[in-house]
Amino acid sequence: KAGVTQTPRYLIKTRGQQVTLSCSPISGHRSVSWYQQTPGQGLQFLFEYFSETQRNKGNFPGRFSGRQFSNSRSEMNVSTLELGDSALYLCASSYYRPGANTGELFFGEGSRLTVL
């Protein structure tokens, strides 16, 4: 079974640009979450999507946005990039079944964004 796939793996942008990151979840997983990982702040939750609906959102500015498609694939977008947006962006998927739900997340390899 293929794992969570994220593209691109590495990218370099300059301040003010925007970036779109893509995530394909494990087959059958309908929940996709995004996290930002930095040395200073650690792992921080960005947002979660389930069946194309944003179910939860972390404490990030509106420059960070996301969406989910009908095939459960997800994208996140960061507009007007700032130096502080340099981070590893991790996507995770999970299988949700009411009443028998472990909530275990399976993470992709991440997209490492460098903002110059």
Partner 1 sequence: ELKVEQNPLFLSMQEGKNYTIYCNYSTTSDRLYWYRQDPGKSLESLFVLLSNGAVKQEGRLMASLDTKARLSTLHITAAVHDLSATYFCAVSPSGDGGSQGNLIFGKGTKLSVKP
Residues that bind partner 1 (CB under 8 A): 31-33, 42-45, 48, 50, 55-56, 58, 90, 92, 94, 96, 98-99, 101-110
Taking the least distance from each CB to partner 1, the nearer of 81 and 89 is 89
DSSP classification of residue 9: S
Taking the least distance from each CB to partner 1, the nearer of 31 and 80 is 31
Residue 68 host element (H or E): strand 64-68
Q: How far is the CB of 77 from partner 1 (least distance, A)?
A: 18
Q: How far is the CB of 49 from partner 1 (least distance, A)?
A: 8
Say how far residue 84 (Cα) sits from the centre of its chain: 17
Q: Are 7 and 110 in contact (CB under 8 A)?
A: no
Taking the least distance from each CB to partner 1, the nearer of 24 and 94 is 94
Q: Are 48 and 55 in contact (CB under 8 A)?
A: yes
